[in-house]
Amino acid sequence: MGAIQVNKKYNDKLIIALAGNPNCGKTSIFNALTGARQHVGNWPGVTVEKKEGRLIHEGKLIHVIDLPGTYSLGAFSEDEKVARDFILNERPDVVIDVVNASNLERNLYLTIQFLEMDVPVVIALNMMDEARAQNIEIDVERLSRLLGVPVVPTIAIRDEGIKELIEEATSIFYRENTVEKGLSITYGREVDDEIKKIKAIIKDDPILKKKFNHKWLAIKLLEGDDQAIEEVSTSSFKDNAILEQVHKSVSHLKEVLGDEPAAIIADRRYAFIKGVARRVVKKSSSLEERVTLSDRIDSVVTSRIVGIPIFLLCMLGIFVFTFALGEPASSGIELFFESLTRTISRGLRDVGASELLISFLVDGVIGGVGSVLVFIPPIFLLFLAISFLEDCGYMARAAYIMDRTMNLIGLQGKSFIPLIIGFGCNVPGVMATRTLKDKKEKLNTILISPLIPCSARLPVYMLFVGAFFPANKGLVLFSIYLMGIILAMIMGRLFRKFLFEGETSPLVMELPPYRLPTLKGTFIHMWARGNDFLQRAGTIIFGAAILMWFLSNLPLGVEYAGENSLIGRLGAVIVPVLKPLGFGSWQAAVALIFGVFAKEVIVSTLSILYGVGGADLTSVIINNWTPLSAYAFMIMVLIYSPCVATIAAIKRETNSWGWTIFTMAYNLILGWTMAFLVFNIGRLIVKG
Amino acid sequence: MGKELLTLALLPPGCKARVREIVGGYGLRGRLLELGFVKGTNLRVLKNNRGPLIISIDGVRLALGRGVANKILVEPIEGVG
């Protein structure tokens, strides 16, 4: 490779940005490059997921930033803006553009835009195996020559070509302009002339000329790109001159060519790509002729008759899977913590520690850690199942199937996925709204998410249903779930009407070909999400547990969570508010307060407050509640508040305390109203 | 094989057609352009009964809401009527 010249500025750290279309195998490349050394976060200011990873190559630390999957670098979605801003502002040393070899033409559209920006690019020609299976042959060397960038063939799921990719990406950086320029794209004489005119003015602008590639900016301005126009009008001295010229050029082109410059430019890019593809790709049949296995599966899975049953079966499968494996693991963890607390309190008593300290360590700290850990099995299993369905391509079909139904409540099919996840746990449900590109749509989905009965509410229902409705267990339980779903639908509709006016954003969604996900890929996917959940939710749940401990033990010397503790007094304060709902006892009030911290805690709180556990709790409940008050209480638990972890997730995904507080407020009001209606109408019926 | 234009939403499954025009605002046009709905591109309708359509364009399967499909004008090539 000749003499290697090390650029001084980046002596120790390389930054590689990973870009590519959705479904091009970018995630597999990212996994292959970085393994499990990944960190999931958010891009600042937006809730687009940011994945970072590291690798060490020949003693050098390389940071890999996974840009959101996009088809283009326009400004049509947050994803595109994020990807583009990163390239423009952070100036990664190399961009690895992952290109799906079985779909070269479409994927090159993004590549072209990197070339327009004049950033150092290495193409990872991925999924070579799929291309070969479809009898598509690509002349890699020629492709590289025509585009003027290195091209490395890869099969990421089998780690093939990854080493070469890293070599190429790092060496492009040490090399000095050894790659000659490939074909330059021409947009037709008319457009090229206008680009030149705009470029000439940009060249004279002291700020813009340093910040952007002149030609790229000129193209973007001609395309009518909002962000580029904004940039020019805010940070340029010559904004008037530039924008005037752009305006003139646009109307000139419209007149001469009879179309918007944006369309002409896109057209030219595709023409260029077709020219390249013609020279490097050999394939046996034309793309739109092929009926693939995926199409055949789709004709069943998306069909009107069996589509929904298959979908429901899948969902049922997820929950059975999560519960069947998660429940025993969770109870195992609970048992472990019970014995741990016993051992530790005994040990502490033996060394003469004060009761208060013991209680703090045991009930507060260890109890807090325990309540985080019991979440792990169901959450990770749920994420595993969802990652699998996503990675194999089924989730997109689920969104397709549900589109019509979701339109009825003013949402689109894609919103259905976060809501379904919410049945397991509202936190990942809210987190999953990230996949929704339309802001109103996303916000609306987040707002109604807490109404979806998550699995943590189930123990509460089991307790009360078991106590009062043993004969109709299933039916009563079903009525509660149904109430949650119907309320979510009604609220979604109302929010759409009054808060997020406007049409439902139209569905435009790629249905990726079905793929058997790799074990490694699915596990990394699950791990990254689960970890994210644990870090965010874990700290909050733990913190809340400690806070609750203090509220239960202050003032000093009070009985733990008794009537005279702070929490007990707080409960007493809200008792009058709960009276009209049929459960105006301080125990119920305290249980509801604790329930905000995590819903399943309601059961253990009641057992502490009534001073009994297990079967005894059921009989105490039967003596102190009526069937009607129990039902009203279950409705209240269903609606009254998201748990703290969900609240935190809502804050994070909406990026706004306003919406977070709004969600909590409407939940509380709606919960109270529904419980009030149920209790009082029920009373009339019982009396009458 | 006339040159009459139809909206994509009107095409029966199995029909092949060529993209001719997108009627819509800047945002929709931009999104569709980057998905490959460029004038002259061929596509095929895979599914069109109720709900969103499924089409094949440039070897990719896309689900398109009816509202969007109504804004894409195409020239049928074969398999229509």
pLDDT, tens digit, for every residue of A142-156?
999 999 899 999 999
Q: Three-state DSSP class for A513? A: coil
Q: Rounded CA gap, B10 and B49, in Å?
A: 10
Bigger pLDDT: A538 vs A305? A305
* Mean pLDDT confidence for A157-171: 91
Contacts of A260 in chain B (CB under 8 A): 29
Tell me, what's the pLDDT at A641? 94
Q: Rounded CA gap, A264 and A208, in Å?
A: 25
Q: Give the angle A95-A97-A100 at the CA atoms, nearest 5°.
A: 170
Tell me, what's the pLDDT at A136? 87
Q: Look over chain A and give the mean of its residue pLDDT values, rounded to a whole number.
A: 85
pLDDT at A286 over 50: yes
pLDDT at A174 over 80: no
Residue A89, sorted as left (phi over 0), alpha (psi -120 to 50) or beta, turns out to be alpha
pLDDT classification of A99: cutoffs 50, 70, 90 = very high
Q: Which residue has the tokens 């009070």?
A: A558
Contacts of A289 in chain B (CB under 8 A): 44
Interface size between A and B, measured as CB pairs under 8 A: 117
CB contact under 8 A, B52 and A413: yes
Length of chain A equals 688
Contacts of A405 in chain B (CB under 8 A): none
In DSSP terms, B17 is beta-bridged to B43, B76
Q: Give the angle A219-A74-A400 at the CA atoms, nearest 5°.
A: 145
Q: Does B64 touch chain A (CB under 8 A)?
A: yes
Phi, psi dihedrals of residue A51, rounded to the nearest 5°: -110, 130
Contacts of A67 by beta carbon, 8 Å cutoff, 6+ apart: A17, A18, A19, A82, A83, A86, A87
Contacts of A540 by beta carbon, 8 Å cutoff, 6+ apart: A644, A645, A648
Tell me, what's the pLDDT at A365? 82
Q: Does A12 touch chain B (CB under 8 A)?
A: no
Q: Rounded CA gap, A292 and A1, in Å?
A: 43
Contacts of B32 in chain A (CB under 8 A): 508
CB contact under 8 A, A295 and B46: yes
Q: Three-state DSSP class for A4? A: coil
Q: Which residue has the tokens 């399943």?
A: A600
At A488, the amino acid letter reads A
Q: Which residue has the tokens 């997020």?
A: A500
CATH number, residue B31: 2.30.30.90
List, as ranges, residues 466-525 from A with C-beta within 8 Å of B. Answer: 503, 506-513
Residue of A nearest to B38 (CA): A267
Q: Three-state DSSP class for B16? A: strand
Q: Three-state DSSP class for A24? A: coil
Tell me, what's the pLDDT at A5? 41
Residue of A nearest to B27 (CA): A76
Tell me, what's the pLDDT at A67? 92
Q: Which residue has the tokens 């435009």?
A: A508
DSSP per residue, A632-661: HHHHHHHHS---HHHHHHHHHHHT-HHHHH
Residue B15 lies in a domain: yes
Structure tokens at A121: 């690019």
Q: Which residue has the tokens 């918007």?
A: A260
Question: A101 and A128 in contact (C-beta within 8 Å)?
Answer: yes
CB contact under 8 A, B61 and A511: yes
CB-CB neighbours of A111 under 10 Å = 25
pLDDT at A140 over 80: yes
How close B34 comes to chain A (CA, Å)?
A: 6
Q: Which residue has the tokens 């070909």?
A: A513
Phi, psi dihedrals of residue A178, rounded to the nearest 5°: -80, -25
Q: Does A263 touch chain B (CB under 8 A)?
A: yes
Q: Does A106 touch chain B (CB under 8 A)?
A: yes
Residue of B nearest to A266 (CA): B33
Number of domains in chain B: 1
A224: nearest CB among B16, B26, B62? B26
Least confident of A54-63, A75-84, A178-187: A178-187
Tell me, what's the pLDDT at A3? 35
CB contact under 8 A, B35 and A74: no
Q: Rounded CA gap, A228 and A359, in Å?
A: 60
DSSP per residue, A385-396: HHHHHHHHTHHH
CB contact under 8 A, A510 and B32: no
Tell me, what's the pLDDT at A181? 60
Least confident of A22-26, A112-116, A244-248: A22-26
Residue B49 lies in a domain: yes
CB contact under 8 A, A106 and B51: no
Cα A603 from chain centroid (whole Å):
31
Tell me, what's the pLDDT at A410? 82
Question: A493 and A465 in contact (C-beta within 8 Å)?
Answer: no
Burial-class residue A31 by CB neighbours within 10 Å (0-12, 13-18, 19+): buried
Give the residue from B35, B59, B37 showing the smallest Cα distance to A71: B35
Tell me which DSSP letter residue A203 carries: H
DSSP per residue, A457-471: GHHHHHHHHHHH-GG
Contacts of B33 in chain A (CB under 8 A): 262-263, 266
Give the residue from A193, A186, A194, A189 showing the smallest Cα distance to A245: A194
Q: Does A287 touch chain B (CB under 8 A)?
A: yes
For residue range A290-339, what is the model confidence (pLDDT) as tens digits? 667 888 888 888 888 888 899 888 888 887 887 788 878 888 888 888 88
* Mean pLDDT confidence for A385-390: 84
List b or e across A330-346, with b for residues whose CB sees 16 or more CB atoms inside 10 angstroms: beebeeebeeebeebbe
At A584, the amino acid letter reads G
Structure tokens at A35: 């393994």
Bigger pLDDT: A583 vs B1? A583
Bigger pLDDT: A114 vs A326? A114
Q: How many CA atoms lie within 13 A of A462 on its CB side?
A: 12
Q: Does B41 touch chain A (CB under 8 A)?
A: yes
Q: Does A413 touch chain B (CB under 8 A)?
A: yes
Tell me, what's the pLDDT at B31? 82
In DSSP terms, A282 is beta-bridged to A137
Q: Does A653 touch chain B (CB under 8 A)?
A: no
For residue range A551-595, what is the model confidence (pLDDT) as tens digits? 888 887 777 777 788 888 888 999 999 999 999 898 899 899 988
* Mean pLDDT confidence for A442-460: 90
Tell me, what's the pLDDT at B3? 66
Q: Does B78 touch chain A (CB under 8 A)?
A: no
Residue of A nearest to B54 (CA): A511
Residue of A nearest to B31 (CA): A76
Q: Rounded CA gap, A530 and A528, in Å?
A: 6
- pTM confidence score: 0.77
A508: nearest CB among B29, B42, B65? B65
- CA gyration radius, chain A: 30
Phi, psi dihedrals of residue A560, rounded to the nearest 5°: -55, 120
Give the residue from A50, A164, A185 showing the smallest Cα distance to A109: A185
Q: Rounded CA gap, A607 and A609, in Å?
A: 6
Contacts of B35 in chain A (CB under 8 A): 71, 508, 510
Q: Three-state DSSP class for A191? A: helix
Domain enclosing residue B24, as ranges: 6-78
Cis peptide upstream of residue A555 (ω within 30 degrees of 0): yes
Contacts of B63 in chain A (CB under 8 A): 396, 399-400, 403, 413, 507-511
Give the residue from A146, A145, A148, A108 showing the smallest Cα distance to A125: A108
Hey, what's the torsion of the CAs at B33, B38, B41, B43, to 10 degrees? 40
Q: Does A404 touch chain B (CB under 8 A)?
A: yes
B56: nearest CB among A76, A288, A507? A288
Contacts of A413 in chain B (CB under 8 A): 52, 63
Residue B18 lies in a domain: yes
Least confident of A145-154, A404-413, A610-619: A610-619
Q: Rounded CA gap, A310 and A316, in Å?
A: 10
For residue range A477-530, what is the model confidence (pLDDT) as tens digits? 889 989 999 999 999 999 988 888 776 677 888 888 888 888 888 888 888 778
Structure tokens at A328: 């025993």
Length of chain B equals 81
As a whole-number percent, the residues of chain A with pLDDT over 70 amount to 92
CB contact under 8 A, B49 and A287: no
Helix A261-280 and helix A140-147, axial crossing angle in degrees, nearest 10: 140
Residue of A511, A514, A515 to mutate, interface with B, max B Cβ within 10 Å: A511
B62: nearest CB among A270, A399, A508? A508
Residue B62 lies in a domain: yes
* Mean pLDDT confidence for B8-14: 92
Q: Give the angle A373-A376-A377 at the CA atoms, nearest 5°.
A: 125
CB contact under 8 A, B31 and A404: no
Question: A404 and A504 in contact (C-beta within 8 Å)?
Answer: no
Tell me, what's the pLDDT at A661? 97
Question: A198 and A218 in contact (C-beta within 8 Å)?
Answer: yes
ipTM of predicted assembly, 2 dp: 0.90
Going from the N-terminus, what domains does chain A have, and what CATH number goes with each? 8-174 (3.40.50.300), 189-287 (1.10.287.1770), 291-688 (no CATH)
> How far, CA to CA in Å, does A21 sit from each of A54, A105, A153, B35?
22, 12, 17, 10
> How far, CA to CA in Å, does A429 sit from each of A568, A592, A600?
33, 22, 18
Contacts of A266 in chain B (CB under 8 A): 33-34, 38
Residue B58 lies in a domain: yes
Q: How many CA atoms lie within 13 A of A331 on its CB side?
A: 6
Tell me, what's the pLDDT at A183? 61
B60: nearest CB among A298, A400, A510? A510
Residue B1 lies in a domain: no
At A122, the amino acid letter reads V
Hey, what's the torsion of the CAs at A139, A145, A148, A153, to 10 degrees? 30
> How far, CA to CA in Å, does B37 sit from each of A644, B34, B56, B71?
45, 7, 11, 11
